[in-house]
Chains A and B, each alone.
Chain A
Amino acid sequence: QLQLQESGPGLVRSSETLSLTCSVSGGPISRSSYYWGWIRQPPGKGLEWIGSIYQSGTSYLNPSLRSRVTLSVDTSRNQFSLHLTVTAADTAVYYCARDADNSGSFDYWGQGALVAVSS
């Protein structure tokens, strides 16, 4: 059974860079045509797609966040990561997830990591 687990700091200062890592177990991250994505949810609000990355490192980003986000992948560690330069508006639960065929259908999700941004 595929499992995803987010890890990273729970508190970040505004203007600093948040780095979150998603560790994947139960299957290789480099398998087949899978994409790996990040989605976030501010407290009490809806979901927002941040971006997705392929095993090759090719990434697609939400245009509204593109100037502040980079994604990376480490197939040797079976991990992928999110790097975001934050403001207070970036306080949210951050989820990593698998998109099995680059269709935006995320079928496996991590449990989520709450990140608060302080000013």
Chain B
Amino acid sequence: QSALTQPPSASGSPGHSVTISCTGSSSGIDNFNYVSWYQQHPGKAPKLIIYEVIKRPSGVPDRFSGSRSGNTASLTVSGLQAEDEADYYCSSYVGRNNYVFGSGTKVTVL
């Protein structure tokens, strides 16, 4: 199972929004409601910020939102802040008890 496709990089100015896409080549994103997003700062463990496509864990700001259209999931970060500069990874259940992560996107706050 190949990794989900994400753009290598994305950027935005403070206070603006950035949207990251996550595309699957086979069944997964469009067939199951198990898409997650993680934020990872350098040298740190990933942090869950979105699960089941659109849900936010307790304590995650509502500036982070998830969505899906067909076989593409998206993460939008609104009101960009300096601390949002990090790597972001999507993941999805792809059936047969198998999970796949995305290739990762580096977000830069200009």
A interface residues, Cβ below 8 angstroms from B? 39, 46-49, 52, 60, 62-64, 95, 97, 103-107, 109-112
Contact = CB atoms under 8 A, between A and B. Distances in A.
A107 B89 CA distance: 14
A49 B36 CA distance: 13
B57 A107 contact: yes
Contacts of B48: 105-107
Interface in B15-61: 34, 36, 38, 45-48, 51-52, 57
B46 A104 contact: no
Interface of B: 1, 3, 34, 36, 38, 45-48, 51-52, 57, 89, 91-93, 96-104
A106 B49 CA distance: 10
A103 B45 contact: no
B99 A49 contact: yes
Contacts of A64: 1
12 contacts: A46-B89, A47-B38, A47-B46, A62-B99, A103-B51, A104-B36, A104-B91, A104-B92, A105-B34, A106-B46, A107-B51, A112-B45
Contact of B104 (A46, A103, A104): A46
A92 B102 CA distance: 17
Nearest to B104: A46
A105 B52 contact: yes
- By Cβ-Cβ distance, the 6 closest A-B pairs, closest first, are A105-B51, A60-B97, A109-B45, A104-B99, A47-B101, A46-B104
Contacts of B103: 46
A95 B40 CA distance: 13
B25 to A, nearest CB: 15
Given A103-B52, A107-B51, A109-B45, 19 more contacts: A39-B101, A46-B102, A46-B104, A47-B104, A49-B98, A49-B100, A60-B98, A62-B98, A62-B99, A64-B1, A103-B36, A104-B36, A104-B91, A105-B48, A106-B46, A106-B48, A109-B47, A110-B45, A111-B45
A112 to B, nearest CB: 6
A97 B100 CA distance: 15
